[in-house]
């Protein structure tokens, strides 16, 4: 005790002795440490106790994260479908990392069995607890991005671009819950999800990881995911920390390619990219991962403006800011804003990074130590990050429950969990067109259904990147129960035949009554999704043309992480489904929609582009439409928020409780009646858009403010309502001042429109 308080005094003296060199990051780290204290006294006193007991080296170790490939002798990476290989820890390597560098976090992996993960994590944590002086548990980070995608036997949900298309808030919660119960027990307590980057351009290869184009949808579903993941009662005694990534505006590079420069106005930043992160922070998210790219000439990892001023001071984030993969090194190796790794480390820490996903080496530790010893970075600055990291570890209960457990593996991949993923898949597939109600195909009328295309009998394209591996095209890794589109369709139409090549289509077509063509993309992740042409690849288009040339009715199913342009074949296909990346249960969901067992209810989560030079998100500006009048281009092939059903819904009686809002705190309620006028039951998501008719800054042509999905039986009626609060009509300027301006607003719902006025007295 005495020793500890002596040390505290010594530290305090050292702190005052060396100058804090932060530019523009007032208040001081010491002030921030105070301001960030939580009201949990036990946690805060534990942090105080550890901060005073830890050596500088131990503190820096807490700020370091290493990839698991650096500490295992073997893993299943690159080993096909043999899952028997254990991730055997190389104790010589781990020993140096724990004993010399005091590394406090590891990450990554591939889909291992629960038993393999359990043993690996137990060995890792036990080694750490046995060999580290203060026994601070390791926190393990994993990219479980659409269910537990790095767990063999885990339940795989649709990717986020599909989740958004459900317009059903049940699914982000279900996905979080299943991720939690399937992985918390094996030590996956730091989940690198949700992705809160906003879809802006389908040229970007990580488009499918986003919750679509609407900041409102991303904010709503993102924060539901965060709350569900971080507060799941069923994983007690464990808890999980979520990560909002990638802060910020990562998704809108000029070239469309991953990790390339973003030039963006501050106004757009606040209007489009901040809201989902703000919502996650307000929902209590424990960590944020940083955008690897640059914004307006400044790499985000070196930006005090973004990492401190915006993230901390404006958005009030108190958790852990972790770098993305190797991004400190990239400051000098790729961005060339630093002369070497030492300078890059100085920049990143000074800007506001708490933890470096180095992820291969411990050089970061050496550099940071030297920077503190040279007096370039203060000990208080180190304490600030370490306090945040320790708080995250304490809040999720790692100190009390550092070890995994293996007595609840019967909760993994259960029929119940898979049913949730199937339900999500069913509600995430958009029926884009359906000429003459060709769908559903009735098994009675269709004697010979041909299922065609090179993707038709593959499992991997249904789930895309981040499935079992970072990028996985190996069919044998997928569990047997996963059905390819063809296998699933064959269950609904037992006589269905397969034609994977164009020649097969030609030679078998005469016998077919209809052709389902499955076309799209093979899996990719990150930079591997950078493309030079947004059109559907030539070979895929050719297959569709071949099918169309047979004269048989063609149903096109797009399985892809983003909208590849299909305009040249769209009109001639009788029906088109955008299946996106529906996950392991996606084959079945596609088949059930084709057969009519399931009535589709998804709506586009983005504008499906019409032409390569018209990649217009739905929330574009009016001038972008006026210019289009010079050339006969529609806004989109299929617009955001639209999608068909096998029934028809008629909207009527749009009414407002009042037509004028008279103060900033006023509100009015809009209601609309929706009748299911068809002959089958169905779900209808009602989307409420607002347009600000005249404003001091240009406004998007439409802005989604609310959505709600209800089940309506054939012939029945449902009433939907939306309470519009005056503050929801405000918008940010470039300083993030919310401007609320009097004037008229158009409210749009389905095919109906009305106006109301904000007129403050």
CB of 207 to ligand BGC, least distance (A): 14
Residue nearest to ligand BGC (CB): 325
* One-character DSSP codes across 530-573: --S--BPPHHHHHHHHHHHHTTS-EEEEEESSS--B-HHHHTTS
Q: ∠ CA(23), CA(24), CA(28), 5° rounding?
A: 85
Q: Which is nearer to ligand BGC, 201 or 546 (CB)?
A: 201
Q: Which of 106, 470, 584, 756 binds ligand BGC (CB under 6 A)?
A: 470
Residue with tokens 């139409």: 493
Residues 6+ apart with CB under 8 A from 276: 196, 198, 211, 215, 218, 219, 222, 223, 244
Q: Which is nearer to ligand BGC, 187 or 643 (CB)?
A: 187
Using CB under 6 A, which residues numbered 518 to 547 contact ligand BGC? Answer: 526
Q: Which is nearer to ligand BGC, 29 or 187 (CB)?
A: 187
758 near 745, Cβ under 8 Å? Answer: yes
CB of 152 to ligand BGC, least distance (A): 16
Q: Which is nearer to ligand BGC, 204 or 470 (CB)?
A: 470
> Is there binding between residue 294 and ligand BGC (CB under 6 A)?
no
Q: Which is nearer to ligand BGC, 62 or 108 (CB)?
A: 108
CB of 77 to ligand BGC, least distance (A): 8
326 near 358, Cβ under 8 Å? Answer: yes
Residue 250 C-beta-side C-alpha neighbours within 13 Å: 26
Separation CA 187–CA 239 (nearest Å): 10
Q: Which is nearer to ligand BGC, 191 or 575 (CB)?
A: 191
Separation CA 185–CA 181 (nearest Å): 7
Using CB under 6 A, which residues numbered 177 to 206 contact ligand BGC? Answer: 192
> Is there binding between residue 325 and ligand BGC (CB under 6 A)?
yes
CB of 346 to ligand BGC, least distance (A): 23
Q: Which is nearer to ligand BGC, 179 or 546 (CB)?
A: 179
Q: Which of 108, 287, 457, 530 binds ligand BGC (CB under 6 A)?
A: 108
Residues 6+ apart with CB under 8 A from 702: 618, 619, 689, 690, 691, 748
Cα–Cα distances in angstroms (integers) from residue 591 to residues 498, 515, 595, in the given order: 14, 13, 6
CB of 245 to ligand BGC, least distance (A): 6
Q: Closest Cα partner for 197 from 232, 171, 159, 230? A: 159
Using CB under 6 A, which residues numbered 230 to 249 contact ligand BGC? Answer: 245
CB of 338 to ligand BGC, least distance (A): 20
Cα–Cα distances in angstroms (integers) from residue 484 to residues 413, 456, 457, 461, 480, in the given order: 18, 7, 5, 9, 10
Rg (CA), the chain: 27
Cα–Cα distances in angstroms (integers) from residue 729 to residues 271, 738, 745, 746, in the given order: 12, 9, 8, 11
Cα–Cα distances in angstroms (integers) from residue 410 to residues 186, 403, 407, 480, in the given order: 13, 19, 8, 18
Q: Which is nearer to ligand BGC, 364 or 470 (CB)?
A: 470
CB of 270 to ligand BGC, least distance (A): 23
> Is there binding between residue 143 and ligand BGC (CB under 6 A)?
yes
Separation CA 590–CA 436 (nearest Å): 20
Q: Which is nearer to ligand BGC, 20 or 324 (CB)?
A: 324
Q: Which is nearer to ligand BGC, 93 or 572 (CB)?
A: 93
Active site residue 313: no
CB of 3 to ligand BGC, least distance (A): 39
* H helix runs in 215-362, sequence order: 215-230, 266-268, 274-282, 304, 327-333, 341-351
Residue window 245-274: x/- pattern of binding to ligand BGC, with contact defined by CB under 6 A: x-----------------------------
Q: Closest Cα partner for 651 from 751, 748, 747, 746? A: 751
DSSP state of 203: T
To the nearest 10 degrees (0 to 180), the angle between helices 29-36 and 379-395 is: 20
Determine how many CB atoms are found less than 10 A away from the CB of residue 510.
Answer: 10
CB of 289 to ligand BGC, least distance (A): 6
Residue window 145-184: x/- pattern of binding to ligand BGC, with contact defined by CB under 6 A: ----------------------------------------
Separation CA 447–CA 493 (nearest Å): 8
The active-site residue out of 197, 232, 324, 354 is 324
Would strands 514-520 and 554-559 be described as parallel, antiparallel, or unpaired?
parallel
Chain centroid to CA 293: 17
Residue 378 C-beta-side C-alpha neighbours within 13 Å: 21
Chain centroid to CA 596: 30
CB of 204 to ligand BGC, least distance (A): 12
CB of 526 to ligand BGC, least distance (A): 6
Size of residue set near ligand BGC by CB under 6 A: 9
Q: Which is nearer to ligand BGC, 477 or 498 (CB)?
A: 477
Contacting residues toward ligand BGC, per CB under 6 A? 108, 143, 192, 245, 289, 324-325, 470, 526
Q: Which residues are catalytic?
A: 324
């Amino acid at each position: 005790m005495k020793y500890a308080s002596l040390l505290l005094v010594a530290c305090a003296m050292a702190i005052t002795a060396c100058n804090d060199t932060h530019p523009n990051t007032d208040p001081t780290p010491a002030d921030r440490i105070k301001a960030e204290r939580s009201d949990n006294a036990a946690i805060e006193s534990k942090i105080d106790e550890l901060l005073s007991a830890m050596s500088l080296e131990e503190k820096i170790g807490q700020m370091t994260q290493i990839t698991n490939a650096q500490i295992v002798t073997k893993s299943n990476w690159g080993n096909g479908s043999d899952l028997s290989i254990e991730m055997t820890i190389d104790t010589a390597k781990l020993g140096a990392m724990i004993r010399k560098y005091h590394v406090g976090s590891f990450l990554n992996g591939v889909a291992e069995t629960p038993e393999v993960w359990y043993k690996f994590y137990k060995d890792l944590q036990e080694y750490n607890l046995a060999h580290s002086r203060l026994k601070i548990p390791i926190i393990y980070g994993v990219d479980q991005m659409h269910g537990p995608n790095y767990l063999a036997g885990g339940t795989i949900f649709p990717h986020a671009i599909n989740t958004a298309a459900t317009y059903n808030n049940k699914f982000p919660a279900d996905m979080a819950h299943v991720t939690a119960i399937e992985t918390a027990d094996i030590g996956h307590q730091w989940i690198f999800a949700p992705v809160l980057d906003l879809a802006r351009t389908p040229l970007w290869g990580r488009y499918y990881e986003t919750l679509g184009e609407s900041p409102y949808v991303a904010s709503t579903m993102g924060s539901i995911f965060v709350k569900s993941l971080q507060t799941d009662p069923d994983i007690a005694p464990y808890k999980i920390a979520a990560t909002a990534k990638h802060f910020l505006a990562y998704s809108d590079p000029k070239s469309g390619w991953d990790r390339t420069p973003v030039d963006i106005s501050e106004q757009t930043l606040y209007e489009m990219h901040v809201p989902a992160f703000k919502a996650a922070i307000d929902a209590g998210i424990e960590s944020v991962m940083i955008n690897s790219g640059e914004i307006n000439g400044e790499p985000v990892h070196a930006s005090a403006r973004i990492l401190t001023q915006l993230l901390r001071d404006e958005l009030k984030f108190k958790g852990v800011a972790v770098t993305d993969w190797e991004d400190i090194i990239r400051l000098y190796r790729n961005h060339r804003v630093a002369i070497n790794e030492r300078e890059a480390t100085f920049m990143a820490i000074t800007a506001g990074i708490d933890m470096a996903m180095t992820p291969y080496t411990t050089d970061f530790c050496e550099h940071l130590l030297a920077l503190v010893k040279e007096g370039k970075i203060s000990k208080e600055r180190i304490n600030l990050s370490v306090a945040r990291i320790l708080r995250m570890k304490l809040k999720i209960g790692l100190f009390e429950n550092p070890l995994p457990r293996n007595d609840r593996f019967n909760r993994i991949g259960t029929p119940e969990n898979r049913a949730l993923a199937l339900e999500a898949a069913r509600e995430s597939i958009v029926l884009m067109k359906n000429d003459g109600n060709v769908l559903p195909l009735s098994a009675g009328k269709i004697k010979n259904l041909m299922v065609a295309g090179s993707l038709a009998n593959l499992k991997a394209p249904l789930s895309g990147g981040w499935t079992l591996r970072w990028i996985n095209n190996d069919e044998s890794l997928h569990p047997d129960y996963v059905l390819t589109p063809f296998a699933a369709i064959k269950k609904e139409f037992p006589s269905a035949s397969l034609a994977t090549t164009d020649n097969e289509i030609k030679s078998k077509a005469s016998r077919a009554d209809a052709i389902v063509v499955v076309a799209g993309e093979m899996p990719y992740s990150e930079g591997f999704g950078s493309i030079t042409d947004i059109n559907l690849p030539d070979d895929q288009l050719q297959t569709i043309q071949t099918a169309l040339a047979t004269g048989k009715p063609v149903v096109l199913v797009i399985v892809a992480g983003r909208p590849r342009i299909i305009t040249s074949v769209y009109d001639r296909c009788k029906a088109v489904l955008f299946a996106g990346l529906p996950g392991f249960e996606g084959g079945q969901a596609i088949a059930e929609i084709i057969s009519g067992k399931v009535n589709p209810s998804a709506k586009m989560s983005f504008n499906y582009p019409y032409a390569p030079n018209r990649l217009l998100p739905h929330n574009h500006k009016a001038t972008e439409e006026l210019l289009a009048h010079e050339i006969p281009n529609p806004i989109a092939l299929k617009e955001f928020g639209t999608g068909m059903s096998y029934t028809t819904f008629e909207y009527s009686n749009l009414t407002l409780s009042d037509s004028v809002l008279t103060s900033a705190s006023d509100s009015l309620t809009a209601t609309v009646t929706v009748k299911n006028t068809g002959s089958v039951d169905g779900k209808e998501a009602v989307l409420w858009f607002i347009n600000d008719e005249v404003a001091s800054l240009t406004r998007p042509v439409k802005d989604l403010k609310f959505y709600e999905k209800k089940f309506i039986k054939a012939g029945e009626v449902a009433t939907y309502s939306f309470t519009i609060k005056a503050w929801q009509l405000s918008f940010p300027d470039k300083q993030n001042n919310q401007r609320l301006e009097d004037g008229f607003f158009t409210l749009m719902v389905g095919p109906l429109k009305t106006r109301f006025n904000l007129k403050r007295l």
